[in-house]
Structure 1
Amino acid sequence: MQTLSLEKKDGVSLVTMARPERRNALNKQLREELLMTLRELNSDPSTKVVVLTGSGGAFSSGADLGSGGTDVMEELDKSFHPILREIRYSDKIYVAVVDGVAAGAGMSLAIACDLRFLSKDARLITAFHRIGLAPDTGLTYILSRLIGARAYKLLLVGGELSAQEAESLGLGKVVEDPLSSALSFAREVAAGPLRSYAASKRMLNLSLFPDLDRFLEYEAMLQASLSKTEDFREGVRAFLEKRTPKYRGE
């Protein structure tokens, strides 16, 4: 694999997204390799806990706008949503280590994990609105169920959470060395009653996220519609040209 690395030890699999030059932006190759890796780990009886992180001082800056993909619905259906399902529907426990930025779909994947360890400079950013899209990869569905109405403005018009703000909302734990802390926690979980944990995760899914698949279909439909707007095209152009977009509401 060229865009991520995998290490296994003591029942813990560490998956590291490795495109540091792009702050681990989720281009097609990274998405494909990540999906393939998670599918393999979810079917691997030796893996008890999956720790997901990024290299180079960032978790992930989200979708790679410079990689040329333009069919938003296809990208959601074939990679972003399947990756999300691998995390949520797995009996493995998923732990995200967020060092630096987790933006857009990167934030979505971090929030989709069961637990999160955050560095002091971690930032969770709903960057979708900056390019004329709405949040995707399940972020609206999952975040609103985790923190309720406190997510409303963040999801409606965008914004960001500092590590300390995220911790105050119960979205993660801020620690000095998040990777070390996450791996230590993961080893403890891997040595525990795994069937009990898996059953607990299934009940949490039923309680908190019972209509996830239905929501993802609706999300993909809305994003596909937004991806055909002039505001989306202008947002992407402005991002690539490193300027402020000029939206017209069209």
Structure 2
Amino acid sequence: MSDAELTVTVDGPVATVVIRNPARRNAMTPAMWRQLPVLLDGLEADPAVRVLVLTGAGGTFCAGADLGDLDELLAAGDGSIAVAAEERLAAFGRPTVAAIEGACVGGGCQLAVACDLRLAAADARFGVPPARLGLVYPAPTTRRLAGLVGPSAAKHLLFTGELVDAERALRIGLVDEVLPADALADRVAALTTTIAERSRLTVTAAKEIVDGRADADRLAWWHAQVRDSGEAREGVSAVNERRPPRFGWTPPAAR
């Protein structure tokens, strides 16, 4: 039986997906790439889940994709199971946070960039190695990376395949925070608790708008939700009464 798997735990409003493949520094196998969208579908259907954390087991985030079946990889191109998993993660309807220790390389970096936020331990290392392998990085993945760090930094990562440390990753915008390794878990817990306490209406709308997935009709729908839900009235009342808000909006069924 393989030790390579994705495991899921749910603690209150926070779901955590852990990448486990100890023999390969948590490299993603084909089975794991296929498993991820299925797990995300299940978590998105759970109304109790408000935030998702993606992390790796044993002090390593993910050392990349398992390249064992190179012919399958070359034949798939941008239609690969890795790209499908990345796109599903990017489209997940709740905020996503990558908690990164150790290696975050190739497919691991691909998954981290598909998350909304990235928190890294000081020992984290990041790299995008296709130029060392003679591969073309998928177009959706390349565009997402460039949108995050800018064209110049993306080209440096892609042209060289070099590893960069956490401080440089922070400077170029690849990660949002860098913390001592022993402080990462507590900071992730505090951040996800804060997000889970905020208005789900605001957070969900903000994610759609920032990601460019809200057209004019959808924006009008969001503003109608604000008017009709009472969410804003509750927020203002809570501020005036100096108490925690009791937000109650929940997402309607998928449109």
Sort the TM-score into its range (normalised by shorter chain).
Answer: 0.7 to 0.9
- Selected match of 2:187 from 178, 181, 192: 181
Tell me the CA shift for residue 164 of structure 1.
0.5
Higher Cα Rg, which structure: 2
Task: With a CA cutoff of 8 Å and minimum separation of 6, indicate the structure with the bigger relative contact order.
Answer: 1
The aligned residue for residue 77 of structure 1 is 79
TM-score normalised to the size of structure 1?
A: 0.76
Cα 1:31–1:52, aligned 2, differ >3 Å: closer, same or farther?
A: same
Deviation of 1:69 (Å): 5.0
* Equivalence for 1:120: 122
Match of 1:135 among 127, 134, 137: 137
Q: Percent identity?
A: 29
CA contact (8 A) 1:51 1:183 kept: no
Identify which of 151, 159, 164 aligns with 1:161: 164
Give the aligned CA root-mean-square deviation in angstroms: 2.0
Deviations 1:90-116 (A, max 9, x none): 221010011000111111110111001
Give the distance between the partners of 1:78 and 1:39, measured in 2 at CA.
Answer: 19
Alignment partner, residue 39 of structure 2: 37
* Runs of 4+ with >4 A deviation: none
Give the direction of change, closer, same or farther, for the CA distance of 1:116–1:37 in structure 2 (3 Å limit): same
Secondary structure at the aligned position of 1:121 is classed as coil
The structural deviation recorded for 1:15 is: 0.5
CA deviation after TM superposition for structure 1 residue 180, in Å: 2.5
Report the Cα distance in structure 2 between the residues aligned to 1:75 and 1:140, rounded to whole angstroms.
13
**Residues 127/22 of structure 1: CA separation in 2 closer, same or farther (3 Å cut):** same
1:1-250 matched pairs, under 5 angstroms: 3-66=5-68, 68-72=69-73, 73-74=75-76, 77=79, 79-136=81-138, 138-148=140-150, 149-172=152-175, 173-176=177-180, 177-206=183-212
Note the residue ranges of structure 2 that are not aligned, 5 or more in a row.
214-255
Provide the secondary structure at the position in 1 that maps to 2:164. strand
For 1:53 and 1:82, locate their aligned partners in 2 and report how far apart those are by CA, in whole Å: 19
Q: CA deviation at 1:78?
A: 5.2
How many residue pairs match? The answer is 206
Q: Using a 3 Å threshold, how does the CA distance of structure 1 residues 78 and 46 change in structure 2: closer, same or farther?
A: farther
Task: Please tell me whether the aligned partners of residues 118 and 163 of structure 1 are also in contact (alpha carbons under 8 angstroms).
Answer: yes
TM-score (norm 2): 0.75
What runs of 5+ residues in structure 1 fail to find an aligned partner?
A: 208-250
The offset of 1:2, in angstroms, is 5.9
- Cα 1:184–1:27 shift into 2, 3 Å: same
